[in-house]
Amino acid sequence: MRVTAVIIRILRQFVRDKRTLGLMIIAPMLILTLMNVVFADQEQTLDIGLVGDAHQLESRLQNPNLEVTLLDTEAQGWGKVRDSELDAFLTTDKVVLEGSDPSVNRAILHKIQALMQPTEDNGITLDIQYANGSEAMEMFDNIGPFLIVFFVFFFVFLIAGVSFLRERTSGTLERLMATPIKRWELVMGYVAGFGIFTLIQSSIIVLFTIYILDIQMAGSIFSILFVTFTVAITALTLGTLLSAFARNELQMIQFIPLVVVPQVFFSGLFSIEAMPGWLQKISLIMPLTYAGEAMKDIMIRGKGLEEIVGNVLLLFGFSLLFILLNIRALKKYRPT
């Protein structure tokens, strides 16, 4: 009888907590749907350029998953692979790979080797060159930049959200709101205060990954630290914003499968180009889309901050938006 009473109490708690009930059903369905789409049997389209006499190979490269571009000069080919407009370009004696993704490199070499098979008896071999990376580049070198920004984003989001929630549930926030401090001053104070610790955390993660795990780094470490800190600020402002809609730590954690996990699929760990068009559009509202691309440009392609300024500005834009929404969310505690 007493066991039955406990069971009934637990069931009533779930029925009353609509958010938890909905999360248990909706979140797994959402994530499974994304995984079904992302891991569907879709082959990525490869963009290959042909230079000079290699134009004659165009007819032999006709394939639904190949986009062939005819180029006038080799310099034009180098420019396009360095700008990631082409995955590779081919001349009569060499193939130049964009090189940032080992799986794409292997796919292109496989297709080109199959194409050149009939000429092997003539002793024709192709010189393989890399615009970015090298033949020794491993898979972790490719996904490492995305893992850095993801883990920074995840832990800062969680810690900042829970910490700000405790400020509210403990009564500290209400006492602060009773002082003459303005809402924007309070938000900026929290962002700056937490930001100092996120800067330290981001620096430790980056330095550990580069110098201990020995991941490939073609760009400046200061550029990497700057982008990582920008990601941390974005996660910090988003975490404090969403904490305003949670009553306890459990409800804060419930935002993870809805807000953080979906961004894994758009951070660069999986090829966005191979996804359906409607799913690619969703990636435009995901901060990790721009963070992952910026980190890859620096660590693998060796670009500087001036070349990734667009992605950095978008991350700052997300942070500013979350700050403004945070100030508005505090309005329920004090109108001014």
* Residue type at position 264: V
H or E element: which one contains 295? helix 287-299
- 314-318's contacts with Cβ under 8 Å and 24+ in sequence apart are 314/287, 314/290, 315/227, 315/230, 315/231, 315/233, 315/234, 315/287, 315/290, 315/291, 316/230, 318/234, 318/237, 318/238, 318/287
Q: How far is CA 112 from the centre of its chain?
A: 31
Residues recorded for the chain: 336
109 and 146, same domain (yes or no): no
Q: What is the reported pTM?
A: 0.76
Both 201 and 234 in a single domain?
Answer: yes
User: 246 and 186, same structural domain?
Assistant: yes
Boundary residue ending a domain (86, 110, 130): 130
> Residue 314: what pLDDT?
93
Using CB atoms within 10 Å of the CB of residue 318, give its burial: 0 to 12 exposed, 13 to 18 middle, 19+ buried.
Answer: buried
CA–CA gap between residue 179 and residue 191 (Å, rounded):
19
How many C-beta atoms surround the C-beta of residue 332 within 10 A?
Answer: 8
Q: Is 1 part of a structural domain of the chain?
A: no
- 101 and 148 part of one domain: no
Q: Could you give the CA distance from residue 97 to residue 87 in angstroms, rounded to a whole number?
A: 6
User: How far apart, in whole angstroms, are the C-alpha atoms of residue 147 and residue 40?
Assistant: 22
pLDDT at 122: 45
* SS3 of residue 130 by DSSP: strand
167 lies in the same domain as 263: yes
Q: What total number of domains does the chain contain? A: 2
Q: Are residues 184 and 115 in the same domain?
A: no
Asked if 222 and 299 touch (Cβ cutoff 8 Å), the reply is no
Label the pairing between strands 66-71 and 88-90.
Answer: unpaired
In a shared domain, residues 126 and 145: no
**Per-residue pLDDT at 15:** 66
Distance separating alpha carbons of residues 4 and 195, to the nearest angstrom: 49
Confidence (pLDDT) at 266: 73
- Residue finishing a domain among 80, 113, 130: 130
- Tell me if 97 is assigned to some domain: yes
Residue 173 and residue 304 in one domain? yes
Judged by phi (left if over 0) then psi (alpha if -120 to 50, else beta), residue 311 lies in alpha
Task: Note the pLDDT of residue 121.
Answer: 46
Radius of gyration of the chain (CA): 25
In a domain, 14, yes or no: no
Residues 162 and 241 occupy one common structural domain: yes
Q: Which CATH number do you get for residue 86?
A: 3.40.190
CA–CA separation, 179 vs 198, rounded Å? 27
Strand partners, 51: 71
Question: Within a domain: residue 297?
Answer: yes
Q: Are both 125 and 217 inside the same structural domain?
A: no
Max Cα–Cα distance, the chain, nearest Å: 88
Q: 66: helix, coil or strand?
A: strand
- Domain range holding 214? 139-332
Taking only the tens of pLDDT, the chain with its 336 residues reads: 656 766 676 667 666 666 666 666 676 677 667 666 666 655 667 888 888 777 777 777 777 677 788 888 888 888 888 877 888 888 877 888 887 777 777 878 877 777 665 544 444 467 788 887 777 677 777 788 888 888 889 888 888 888 888 877 777 777 777 777 787 887 888 888 888 888 888 888 888 888 888 887 888 888 898 999 999 999 989 988 888 887 777 778 878 888 888 888 777 677 766 667 777 778 788 898 899 889 888 888 888 888 889 999 999 999 999 989 988 877 766 555
Beta strands in the chain (DSSP E): 46-51, 66-71, 88-90, 94-97, 127-130
Instruction: Mark whether 247 and 174 lie in a shared domain.
Output: yes
Domain end marker among 79, 108, 130:
130
Same domain, 173 and 271: yes
For residue 308, being part of any structural domain is answered with yes
DSSP 72-85: S-HHHHHHHHHTTS
For residue 258, how many other CB atoms are within 10 A of its CB? 14
> Do the domain assignments include residue 36?
no
Place of tokens 């670009």: 303
